Each structure stands twice: as C-alpha cells, then as structure tokens.
A and B are shown apart, each in its own frame.
Chain A
Amino acid sequence: MLDFIQQVIGGVALGCVYGLIALGFVLIYKATEVVNFAQGEIMMLGAFLSFTFIATLGLNYWLAFLLCVICMAILGSLMERLVVRPILGYPQFSIVMATIGLGLVIRSLVGIIWGTDDLRIETPFTNGVVKLGGLVIAEDSLSIIVATALLCALLYAFFRFTRVGIAMQATSQNMLAAYYMGIPVKRMFSLIWSLSAIVACCAGILLAPITFIHANLGFLGIKAFPAAVLGGFGSIPGALAGGITIGIVESLSGFYLPEGFKDVAAYVVLLAVLLWRPQGLFGSNAMKKV
C-alpha cells in the first residue's frame, strides 16, 4: 500500500509537469486556434536557462527562477512576433509546420549553446525529503506539486479578475468582437505566447532537478500532448487533470507492469478515454456535425 501511495505521489509530481506543458498548448490554442508544437522545446529552453543562471552564474535559486521567467516571457512574445504573426491568416497547416520548425531550431540552438551533455542543477530542495508516517517524499517532487498549485491559482485569478486577463478570454471567445471593443488583439496574442512560455519555463525549472537537463527534454512535449487531448483540448482544468492522470498512470505502470509498458501506458489510457468520451474529460459537448 505504501509503495502504491509513493508511486502515486511521484506520478502526480511528474503529471504536474505534463499538465503545465499541456496548459501551455491549451492557452495558445484557445486564444489563437494554433497548436504550438514547440511547447516542449520552450520548456526545455527554460530548463537550460535555469542551468546557466544557477550553475554557471551561481545565482540564488529564487532570483534565477524569476530571471528565467522574465527571459522566457520576452522570448515567447518574440516567437509569436517573428514566427507566427507573419503567417497568421494562412492555412492552419503552415502555422503548425512553422511551430514544428521552431521546435527544431530551439533544439539545435540548445545543442550549440549548451552542448549535448546531461546537465544538473542544485535547488534548495535537492536531496531533501519529507517523512510522513512511513512515506518518504522527495522535496523536489513536493515542490513541483506546490508550485503547480500556486501557479494555477495565480493564472485563475489573472483570467478571472484582471482587465487584461478578461480581455484575453474575450479575444479567444470572439476575436471580431474583441476588435470592435478596441482590444488590441495582436498584442493579446503576443501576451498569450508570453504567458504560455512562462508556464512552460516553470515546468522546465521544476522538472530539471528530478531529471537531467539535456537536448531531448523537449520530447516531453509529445507526452504532454495526450495530456491536453485527454483533458479535452481547450480546457484549462482539463489540461492539468489530463497531465496528472497520465503522470499517475505512467508511474504506476512503470512500477507494477513489465518493462516497456510505461511508455505506451499514457496512450492506452488516452485511447480508452477518447472511446468513452470523445470530447475529453473536461471538453465541451459542442461537436461539429460534418
């Protein structure tokens, strides 16, 4: 039983990371109907930046965290400005290809700048454990869960109560009407990309201590994608729920099932859920008839 709980907690922590990356997908998709396939690479870039700030420059963890977030916010809106905006209005396919290209560019840039070795960072949580009865929980895992909860609360408050947050919702619900209200729609798109890059960056920094930082970290985006679909693409709570579900499934199947099942478990769950609820766990019922 203790093993089970231990695995579930580990799964939740990993799932939070998937959930945050999925959240990045969903934010951009909801606002602009673009699926950003570079989300995983953006997460990776956040992790590498944290390595530079923490390990290379030796900055304080919290300061480094803040600097990473600021850098990624700027990079996110730059990516929107340089890669997506010029082709906005062209077929979806072109934009999807552009984001895949963006992901490849980031991956090779990371290889050029940071090399291809596995890197590590030390955080205030490294090697720390919390004992709860018989349970032993790594502080790294706990920090991921707590930080994800905090980040979600912040995002919720931002979208619910601030003028810009509501305007982002308005833009995603009816772009034409947003134009008529004097909402600077294009600036909203940049902001959404910033926000999504910030979320991805947090995921990257949180993940860095429990795995190595390396140039293939971006492939995690491929795992976060089923998380977003599972939640019902376009639903923010769904993205998190989807991420956590996949994290738990992976963790449990890695522990109880023979070698190899871990990597496909997420997709098996995804297929099963989609057969039962094609709109995803939190998706709306709106269905296109044709």
Chain B
Amino acid sequence: MSAQPILRLANVESRYGPITAIRGISLDLMPGQIVTVLGANGAGKTSILKTISGVLDPLTGTIEFEGQKIQSMEPDKIVRLGISHVPEGREVFPFLSVRDNLRMGAYIQKDKKKIASDIEKMFDYFPVLRERQDQIAGQLSGGQQQMLAISRALMARPKVLLLDEPSLGLSPLLVKEIFTIIRRLNAEEGVAILLVEQNARMALETAHYGYVLEVGRVVMHDSCANLIQSDQIQEFYLGHGQAHAK
C-alpha cells in the first residue's frame, strides 16, 4: 500500500441550513482500499459522501483528492477528476432505458468505443442488466436498480467510488450478492471504495478499514479486523452484547 491517501478529509464540517451534519471529520482512503463508515441513522454518514462529491459545501476543513484540494468544487468537476457517487436509494433515471442510464454514467467520457466496451463490461458483472437493457429503469426491481446505480457510477471510470447504503431495502440474499460484486470490483478494477453502510456486519467483512460515526463525529477508527473484535462494536453494531443497550 502506498503511503499517500488518494482521498483525505481533514476537519471537515458541513451543515444543512442550521443543522450541523458533520463536525470535524478526518478520514483517509488509500488507493485500492475499501473503507467503511459505520453509524446509526442521522450520524452524518450520507453528509460525508455528499460533501465529498460537492453537492454539499463544507464550512471548514479540506478535502484532498490525489493531493489536490477539491472542497467547494462544482459536482461535475469532481466527477471528472475521478470520484463517482452511488447515492442512497439508487436514484436511477426512471424513464430512461437501462442502456441510456449507463450512457449517462459515462457522460464525461467522449470515446464511444470505450463507452460501448464499458457497457459490455458492466453487463458481464451484472448479467441481469443485459437482459433488461431496453427496459426503462423504473421497471427494475430494487436489487436490479442498485446494480444499475453501481454500474452507472462505474461507467465514469472512477478512481474512487462512494457507495451509500448499497444494502438498503434488499433481501439478505441480494445483499450478499451485491457485496460479493463490490469486493470483486475493488479487486479486479482496483477502484478505491468509501462505503457507508448500516449493515455493520456486511460492511466490516467487506472493508479493510473502518470509521465509526456518532452524531457527526468519528468516535473510533481501526482496521476492520480489529473493529470486529472490539466490545463496543460487538455490542452496539453487531448486537452481540449481553447488556442490550437498546
């Protein structure tokens, strides 16, 4: 692992209007690594991703991508630099065909041959999308939409993929399938992944390093192997404690 993080957040603070969503977050993502951010609803996980992709402007702090400061840049510039965002709840384009959704993912790409071969590659990862390529995305099931959202983001050939709750609303079996593919994408394409997830077990088994978020602050960070062993994580996030704190 090289010593330079590909993405580094330092003391980032963001707000939604009067509400402070994240307070002084610092976080490193190394090239080729999967890093997960754990936390309950409203802990600020999604806000971190939105701040990175430029939809939310941070009040203070710096975000560096490959050594370049990117905070407060326009979202489309950030995508061009190589950061793609798979939003929570999929957010596919409901009335465009699956194929056109993928084409939009490659909006910043000009080379038509590359786009066509990338679409084929995505169809190899998610064969069900090939079968449904001419259907409009709104007709896909939740799991298929998630697959479409992930492959749409990969069409931009990102160096960093921001994944927001990929397991949301999916059956346990589908969650397993999605996470298997996330691991494959990381290993085969070498894309670094920042994964925000409520399904702590899945996330810890998939990621290399984890941050635990509580009301907008990082309260703990360690390698996932260590986090899984930690009593606190066992009790609050994996539900193995004797004292059920809920």
Interface residues of chain A, those whose CB is within 8 Å of chain B, are: 163, 166-167, 169-170, 173-174, 176-185
Contacts and interface: CB of A to CB of B under 8 A. Distances in A.
B85 to A, nearest CB: 4
A173 B95 contact: yes
B64 interface: no
B91 interface: yes
Interface in B50-75: 53-55, 74-75
B76 A183 contact: yes
B100 to A, nearest CB: 5
Interface string B90-102: 0111111000100
Contacts of A183: 76, 104, 107
B55 A179 contact: yes
B165 to A, nearest CB: 14
Contacts, number: 68
Given A180-B84, A181-B156, A170 B104 contact: yes
Interface of B: 53-55, 74-76, 78-80, 84-87, 91-96, 100, 103-105, 107-108, 152-153, 156
B92 A174 contact: yes
Contact of A182 (B92, B94, B100, B108): B108
Given A163-B103, A163-B107, A167-B104, A180 B75 contact: yes
A166 B76 contact: no
29 contacts: A166-B103, A169-B96, A170-B104, A173-B94, A173-B95, A174-B92, A174-B93, A174-B94, A176-B55, A176-B87, A177-B87, A177-B91, A177-B93, A179-B54, A180-B55, A180-B75, A180-B79, A180-B85, A181-B79, A181-B104, A181-B105, A181-B108, A182-B78, A182-B80, A182-B156, A183-B76, A183-B104, A184-B74, A184-B76
A176 B91 CA distance: 8
Contacts of A166: 96, 100, 103-104
